[in-house]
Structure 1
Amino acid sequence: MRELFQIAMTLDEKANQAHMTFHVEVPHNVSRLVVNFNYSPIEESDRVALEHAVLREGYSVSILENDTVLRNLLTLSIHDPYKFRGGRHYFNSNQLIEISDSEASLGFEAGEIPAGVWQFTIHNHACLSPNIKCDLKIQAEVEESAFSREVPLAQLREPKKKIVKTIQVDKNAPWVKAELHTHTVHSDGNQTTEQLLTAAEQEGIHCLSITDHNTTSAYQDLQLNQHNLTMLQGVEYTTFYGHFLVHHAENIPLNNWTHLSSSSLQALLQQLQNNNALITIAHPFDMGNPFCTGCQWNYVLDHINHIDAIEVWNGPSPTSSLSNLDAYAKWTHLLQQGYEIQASCGRDWHNPMGQDEQCAYMFVQANDASAASIIDSLKYGRSYISMGPRIELTVNQRFSIGDHIRITDHRLQISLILSNMESSSHVCIIAGERLLYEKEVMDSEMVIDYISDDFTENYLRIEIKNKVGDITAFTNPVYFQYV
């Protein structure tokens, strides 16, 4: 028997006629739920407590007899993720409720026990005593394998090609410097909205998104006429089993995150994506519970068709983080397996920047500076991530980062224009699993033209490494289809 939830509490008359709902994740492969619900006392005869009870309802204490006894009444009801499973209204200080496929306690409905977030609600019909002891314990009969901790994004079906929205980006369109993961005092950040926007402008950021935890209230503070920034509406859904960023060109309708589970997450992601939201898994390999609640991605997904990007670099000085190395390795492994998913970065900006911190930014090429245009380019993958170097990539004279190119032979012409480079950096052209080309760069600017006559891979991307081998910039892929 696996314990899912337990709580003990003390109630008094101020909890009278209130409902207390507990959202509890029920895993897969549960054959029986066992719920113990207890409270005491049922009867209350203390004169002071009785007088408080009748006065609260507008009666005179004169209606009380010497032997008057009133009763506390607490009941329990249960909802599974899809429907009401029942409740029993009766006086009993020790209640045992069992639900299985074939049987259920009186007042409750037997049947399949679906995985997801269940609601267990205590209904305080009458709280008359000054100290009502109450406890709720929820257990499940379940296969232990259902509780094993998964490596993030480990159990995925075979990759499915996405239907890619083709966009036409002018090759001379500017690259926009963006920061997509920030927090304010509206959640756990230490900067006001105004302080964050001012700091972003000082860093030369053109596009900013405030992604407070489970709230968009910071956007009420905005005074856009005072800042030369394109704002993407954003929020970081912060759940017990993972965090994900949602960006949109317009107002984001918030959903109740407490209802999310592995079984319901895909429906929400699809709904958001159908509304042209950009969806990014945040810091999937962070330490997580109990060190950082929900920070590691523990949702078990069988596909990632409704996810646009993985935040592979999180925080300042991103290459010093082991969890970022794991996230980057997972992203490149997914690409090698045939998944088409973008990489993203975010400072996870909570505090003013430290003197020794080096930050990475998203660089996005969009036809204009509007939020809608930037969102389209991010979803398309017309972006690269950099802590300094600037990259312009052209393939076959007219294609660039994020494009899907139909080719009839194996000849490929690659042109790179690099700037803001550190001396002794290395430029790497990576095709699938192999290093196609590498060259050391001695100057801050360089042009590279490379031709491959035997290109057979499904994608290529660029990495730039400093003289000690740390990645300082990389692009999202260019994809190829052979006809």
Structure 2
Amino acid sequence: MKWLPFELHTHTPHSDGIHTLLEMCRKAAELGFRGIALTDHNTTSGMADAAQVTEETGVAIIPGLEWTTFYGHMLTLGVPYCEWRDLGPKDIHKGIDRVHRQGGVVGIAHPFSLGSPICTGCHWEYEIQDWNQVDYMEVWHETLPPMRNHNAPAFEQWTNLLNQGYRIAGTAGRDWHHSNDESDPPAYTYLGIVGDTDALTKEQAVDAIRTGRICISMGPLVTIELQADGQSYHTGDVIRRSDCANVETVELTVRIDHPSIASRRQMVQEEGLTVIVESNLGECCRSALADGATVFQHSIRPEKLLWLRVRLYGMLSGVLSTIAFTNPIYFED
């Protein structure tokens, strides 16, 4: 498995973006992204020249769409156009089923953005009857997302849903409409890709999102591994309690890899980082890393755990902030 950085929320002039797909992918390559999802509002027409753009830039393109309605915005990835215009506030699941039947995934975009009259439909108002049907939530939105106020309640809602036993992936999305050299930096959505990464496919990226093999970061890649009774588990994996019944603790290893992109290394201060291990039981531990350290290890008692993830905390552009977080490893009876 290889961890590759993606941007999962973009727009071109086929809806209300400024950059052509080629211009966006050229810029994405400069920023270090290996792939993007094209999610124009209510249209997939921008995918017409995607293969040519990928060949020229090396940036993989996931077909997508942003259902843009009066009751909220939902991202659909990995499928062609799926009808959305007949969906009312109480029957979003009818549309979700259409996407799932074609092998795609759905995600709630910027659920706590301002709604009417500032941005009609941007705030999520659809009634979710079964959260098991939602594949992911955009918990970090826009550029420099740790500093955006509307992302705090999105992250909290995601955590509350995890506490209730739902396995929903958390993602980031720039909502890329325009940019220039002075734009704030976006986050990376690192996807754990299985198989050949020389010719990335939409199926590989969709599978990573569906299974929660995701790390969200302003730069460093944070990966986690749990050792339980001789078996290794990673982000998105599920540990059955019977698999660790013979041990009192499971061994957590956190690894931090810093990218080679100069702008990211200048923005994220590599000294003074803190690792925070979180679960449905709250904060399991918090430890300051020695300067230059890239590995952290900790023993954890697995009983009563539903999920476990790691946050990286430190200086981001001169401000103390969450820098990165992993998606969970899950536990089940």
TM-score band by shorter chain is: 0.7 to 0.9
Write the deviation string for residues 299-357 of structure 1: whole angstroms up to 9, x where unpaired.
12222222101100110011121111110111111111222211111100011145251
Alignment match, 1:464? 312
User: Which residue, out of 296, 302, 306, partners 2:133?
Assistant: 306
- How much has 1:469 moved relative to structure 2? 4.2
Matches within 5 A, 1:13-412: 173-222=1-50, 223=52, 224-248=54-78, 251-255=79-83, 257-355=84-182, 357-368=184-195, 369-396=200-227, 397-408=231-242, 409=245, 410-412=248-250
Instruction: Point out where structure 2 has 5 or more consecutive residues left out of the alignment.
Output: 259-268
User: What CA distance in whole angstroms lies between the structure 2 residues aligned with 1:305 and 1:453?
Assistant: 27
Give the letter for the 1:218 counterpart: G
CA positional deviation for 1:202: 1.3
1:202-251 CA distance string (max 9 Å, x none): 11211111111001111113313212122110110000110010000xx5
| Aligned-partner SS, 1:263 | coil
Deviations, residues 104-137 of structure 1 (Å, cap 9, x unaligned): xxxxxxxxxxxxxxxxxxxxxxxxxxxxxxxxxx
- Residues 16-48 of structure 1: CA deviation (Å, up to 9, x unaligned): xxxxxxxxxxxxxxxxxxxxxxxxxxxxxxxxx
Give the letter aligned to residue 310 of structure 1: M
Q: Separation in 2 of the partners of 1:359 and 1:197?
A: 14
1:452 to 290, 293, 300: 300
- TM-score of the pair, normalised by structure 1: 0.61
Instruction: Name the structure 2 match of 1:115.
Output: none
Equivalent position SS for 1:266: helix
User: Do 2:82 and 2:95's aligned partners in 1 also have CA atoms closer than 8 Å?
Assistant: no
**Residues 219/418 of structure 1: CA separation in 2 closer, same or farther (3 Å cut):** same
**Using the alignment, how far apart are the partners of 2:65 and 2:34 within structure 1?**
19
Partners of 1:419 and 1:444 within 8 A in 2: no
Contact kept in structure 1, 2:91 and 2:127, CA below 8 Å: no
Look up the SS of the partner of 2:203 in the other structure: helix
Deviation of 1:391 after TM superposition, in Å, equals 1.3
Structure 1 runs of 4+ with >4 Å offset: none
Distance 1:311 1:263 in 2: 21
Distance (whole Å) between structure 2 residues aligned to residue 454 and residue 202 of structure 1 = 42
Letter in 1 for 2:59: L
- 1:417 aligned counterpart, secondary structure: strand
Q: Which moved more, 1:428-437 or 1:181-190?
A: 428-437
- Deviation of 1:392 after TM superposition, in Å, equals 2.0
Larger radius of gyration: 1
Range that drifts further, 276-285 or 442-451:
442-451
Cα deviations by residue, 1:436-478 (Å, 9 ceiling, x for unpaired): 1111124344211211246431110001111454111001110
Match of 2:288 among 431, 437, 440: 440
| Cα deviations by residue, 1:403-449 (Å, 9 ceiling, x for unpaired) | 01112334211111113262112101112132111111243442112
Q: Which moved more, 1:295-304 or 1:232-241?
A: 295-304
Render the CA deviation track for 1:168-206: whole Å, top value 9, x for unaligned. Answer: xxxxx2101100100011111111121111111111211
For 2:331, the equivalent position in structure 1 comes to: 480
Aligned AA (2:18): N
Contact preservation (8 Å) 2:10, 2:176: yes
Amino acid at match of 1:276: G
Change (3 A) 1:244 1:353: farther
Q: How many residues align?
A: 307
Corresponding residue number in structure 1 for 2:256: 418
Paired position in structure 1 for 2:264: none
Give a deviation string over 1:55-81, Cα, whole Å, max 9, x none: xxxxxxxxxxxxxxxxxxxxxxxxxxx
In structure 1, the gaps of 5 or more residues are 1-172
Instruction: Tell me, yes or no, if the aligned pair for 1:412 and 1:455 is still in contact at 8 Å.
Output: no
Question: CA separation in 2, counterparts of 1:356 and 1:373?
Answer: 30
1:413 counterpart SS class: strand
Percent of residue pairs bearing the same amino acid type: 32
CA RMSD of aligned residues (A): 1.7
**Separation in 2, partners of 1:181, 1:307:** 17
- Cα shift at 1:362: 0.6
- Give the 3-state SS of the residue equivalent to 1:178 in structure 2: strand
